[in-house]
Amino acid sequence: MTNWTVEEFMEDIRKETETQFQKEVSEASHQEIYFAISAIVNHQIDKDWEKTNKLYKNKKPKQVYYLSMEFLIGGLLKSNLLHHQMLDVCNTALEKLGLEPEEIYKQEHDPGLGNGGLGRLAACFLDSMASMRYPGHGFGIRYRYGLFEQRIINGYQTELPDYWLDNEYPWERRKPEEAIEIIFGGTVHMHKKYDGSLEFNYENTDKVLAVPYDIPIVGYQNQIVNTLRLWSAEHTSAESPLEFKDYYHEIDHQHTIEQISGFLYPDDSSHEGKHLRIKQQYFLVAASLKQIIREFKNNGNNDLQKLHEKVVIQINDTHPSLAIPELMRILMDEEGFSWDNAWMVTTKTFAYTNHTIMSEALEKWPTDMIQHLLPRLYMIINEINERFCQGIWFDHPELRLEIPKMAIIADNQVHMARLAIVGSFSVNGVAKLHTEILKQQEMKEFHQLYPGRFQNKTNGITHRRWLLMVNPRLSDVISETINDRWIYRPRELTHLLRHIHDKPLLTSIGKIKQQNKQELANVIYRMTGIKVDEQSIFDVQIKRLHEYKRQLLNVFHIMYLYNELKDNPTLDITPRTFIFGAKAAPSYYFAKEVIKLINTMAEIINHDPTIHDKLKVVFLENYNVSLAEKIIPATDLSEQISTASKEASGTGNMKMMMNGALTIGTLDGANIEIKNLVNESNIFLFGLRAEEVYHYYHSGEYQAYEEYQTDERITQIMNQLRDGLYGYYEFKDIYYHLLSTNDSYFVMKDFADYVETQQCVDQVYRNKDEWLSKSLINIAHSGKFSSDRTIKEYASSIWKIDNI
Ligand code: 26V
């Protein structure tokens, strides 16, 4: 580990600015300083990267590959500095040079290569693997456009393209010499060879080149650097555009190539662009598998029969599950394996994680599309399906009637989740409740068939980014109190419980929250012009906008409070600032109406002098990882209010708890596990339980219309939506949607309990000591949710890998 002095670091910044830009530090832009510092860090990284690769080459450990269509890695400069023990020195050096460190760090355009939880989880996992010395790497796509940039115009979401590569991205290394050719489409011809084996030849195929861009994943102060390899689609040199046979086809193909790594899909757009999405998925899978096998062979292994002894592949949701038939194809068509042998190796290599039970997110691809794009893969999927269904028919007659629900190909669609379950040796959910729901409800037939295959791995977050990096003041106080071993062993945060009556400690935790709130208040003011009261409760809901996450329930509470205050302006309530951050998928009309509603309420409430600043509503546009890093340390109350059973885990809940927020939530996802740790007195629970939700769905007993009519508070709110808020705006579509779907996410049903629970929050917040000790208890138990724990569980019970 390098120990730099501040002077040395300043000198390096000077040198880099001089060599890169021929400028003095004082003349350089913030952007140029950012590039200069990145270069300094990169020199260090490259040394460790090479060393790590050599280490793996010599020791040849079993490797894990995490295949994911999304990686939301966030800014890397600050975390790379931290992981190289250079952050403090760099901060001081910058200050001495007359620069504000945060101004430099915010130059980084964070790569939005993910939608939300699933992509951020992948990034936290990479961080934990490197920090705990596991040989684990990511494979993904280098989208030229990440998730859209959100602008709020007139209260509405508008989407702008996110061209994150406008400047050079200093963390990636292009490796054209390791590019891989990928084949799409065409027709397959089968030939029987003299020895009776089959040979497959392809005609009129389209070729695409997958060019790797490697991003270093730096372990925490341990000299390990793993790799995140992102593939970019380019055209092959063999088929230069000048040699085309069919002009129109060629133009089309060039266009497709540009599109393959063109942009990231927002998570509900499964209707449009399915074709392209499959191409992206196959592109990722085919390139990654070729690379994995290449590495396996380069390591001196020539017996692919033993692939699973050296390689395990985790597929992140169903998105990469074409890897299963693709490995079958490679083993059979290119390596001469029999079906049975190929299947044995394949099903010992893959493990699948499910991240949602929402049916619209469970991928199903039209058979004709797959057949046309990937003719050979379709043959293999068909064969997998045939054998699978026959297997049930003959070996599990008790499940015969369930075959239509289990078949991989049904209703002219390929059911990717079924393919993933059948082709993997492990299937896991992401929190205890979610895994139980998979086993007992959503995938129960598969669980009957393969009872040993299902297991739980509760999600986690990297405490290095989400506490140490984003909340240095809190981290310091923790380290002063229980020493800094928690950084390596986050479970040791429980030692804070010994200090639960330590008044000065509680006071300084309170002060730190106050400082963080002040900083967020500044950000809010800069972004929106709204002045918020730092003494008010910072009540935060930050996550993708979706009906099941129930931002609408939060809005109902705000409308209720506002209505109360209008009736009685002297009403004694603790002042609150409601803070939202959320992107809605561009084609998701309902979600976008909710954004407009939030902004409308903000407009009305923030400008109403009669409520004396007791309420403020803030919608922060373009919610992303770097904004989350500013909001989370300043949160008092974490809103985790999904309809029970719908949120697979949640990870924002963990991040906010780790930063001392208290949770108001339903018994859903990982909230349940938070409750089990901190106990019911340190979390605000409300609402229907998952069983009750299922019960209402099955019995049809719930009548939303009655709820609307009987609870006067709801009647008033609903009528305001229908007729116009305080004379101005109307949200008829939300009103009709709730009634016509019979309030399928139970917003009205859970309203009363939610309001009552919010009243408890209001009361507890008035007692500073009580609030702070609950806050400390939450921090103390949050170590369990470090992704280090999660990764250890994956390593020992799925991957069977050791750290190096
Ligand atoms: C679906 C689709 C459908 C087609 C277009 C692109 C796309 C992208 C994503 C998805 C599904 C996303 C599933 C997801 O993000 N699940 C979240 O995973 C988190 C990590 O496990 C978990 O904490 C959240 O509760 C869960 O909603």
pLDDT in tens, 316-361: 999 999 999 999 999 999 999 999 999 999 999 999 999 999 988 8
Query: Which residue among the candidates 229, 465, 499, 543 is catalytic per the annotation?
Result: 543
Query: What pLDDT is stored for residue 251 in this prediction?
Result: 82
The verdict on the CB of residue 642 being under 6 Å from ligand 1 is no
Query: Which residue among the candidates 655, 737, 774, 784 is catalytic per the annotation?
Result: 655
Q: Is the pLDDT of residue 573 over 90?
A: yes
DSSP codes of every residue in 92-125: HHHHHTT--HHHHHTTS-------SHHHHHHHHH
Q: Is the pLDDT of residue 600 over 70?
A: yes
What's the distance, Cα to Cα, between the start and end of the chain in Å? 18
Mean pLDDT of 590-600: 97
How far, in Å, CA of 350 to CA of 420, rounded?
9
479-483: list long-range contacts, CB under 8 Å, 24+ apart.
Answer: 481/505
Q: Where does residue 239 rank: exposed (0-12), middle (13-18), buried (19+ CB within 10 A)?
A: middle
How far, in Å, CA of 556 to CA of 551, rounded?
9
Q: If you count them, how many residues does the chain have?
A: 804
Active site residue 651: yes
The verdict on the CB of residue 649 being under 6 Å from ligand 1 is yes
Which residue's alpha carbon is at the smallest distance from atom 18 of ligand 1?
118
- Residue whose C-alpha is closest to residue 278's, from 358, 398, 368, 199: 368
Separation of 140 CA from ligand 1 center, angstroms?
Answer: 15
The verdict on the CB of residue 588 being under 6 Å from ligand 1 is no
**Residue ranges per structural domain of the chain:** 305-459, 463-781
Query: Which residue among the candidates 84, 308, 544, 774 is catalytic per the annotation?
Result: 544
pLDDT in tens, 207-223: 999 999 999 999 999 99
- At 566, is the secondary structure helix, strand, or coil? helix
Query: What pLDDT is stored for residue 254 in this prediction?
Result: 83
Q: How remote is the C-alpha of 111 from its chain's centroid?
A: 13
Q: Is the pLDDT of residue 759 over 60?
A: yes
How high is the mean pLDDT of the chain?
95
The verdict on the CB of residue 650 being under 6 Å from ligand 1 is yes
The verdict on the CB of residue 116 being under 6 Å from ligand 1 is yes
The verdict on the CB of residue 669 being under 6 Å from ligand 1 is yes
Active site residue 458: no
The verdict on the CB of residue 117 being under 6 Å from ligand 1 is yes
Atom of ligand 1 nearest to the CA of 430: 21
- pLDDT band (50, 70, 90) for residue 403: very high
Query: What pLDDT is stored for residue 534 in this prediction?
Result: 97
Which residue's alpha carbon is at the smallest distance from atom 16 of ligand 1?
355
Active site residue 290: no
Which residue's alpha carbon is at the smallest distance from atom 5 of ligand 1?
267
Active site residue 614: no
Separation of 544 CA from ligand 1 center, angstroms?
Answer: 10
The angle, 0 to 180 degrees and rounded to 10, between the axes of the packed helices 87-96 and 6-21 is 70
- Residue whose C-alpha is closest to residue 706's, from 741, 749, 648: 749
The CATH fold of domain 463-781: Rossmann fold (3.40.50)
Active site residue 543: yes
Query: What pLDDT is stored for residue 201 in this prediction?
Result: 85
Structure tokens at 338: 């029999």
State which of 355, 359, 547 you would mutate to test the pocket of ligand 1, scoring each by most atoms of that ligand within 8 A of its C-beta.
355
Separation of 118 CA from ligand 1 center, angstroms?
Answer: 5
Query: What pLDDT is stored for residue 240 in this prediction?
Result: 52
| Residue tagged 């021929």 (tokens) | 22
In single-letter form, the type of residue at position 276 comes to L
Mean pLDDT of 467-494: 98
Maximum distance among all Cα pairs of the chain, rounded to whole angstroms = 93
The verdict on the CB of residue 435 being under 6 Å from ligand 1 is no
Separation of 513 CA from ligand 1 center, angstroms?
Answer: 31
State which of 66, 115, 121, 435 you would mutate to test the pocket of ligand 1, scoring each by most atoms of that ligand within 8 A of its C-beta.
115
Separation of 771 CA from ligand 1 center, angstroms?
Answer: 33
Q: Which residues contact 533 (CB under 8 A, 6 or more apart)?
A: 575, 577, 613, 616
Separation of 398 CA from ligand 1 center, angstroms?
Answer: 33
How far, in Å, CA of 764 to CA of 588, rounded?
37
**At CA 151, angle to CA 70 and CA 728, rounded to 5?**
130
C-beta of residue 471 within 8 angstroms of C-beta of residue 516: yes
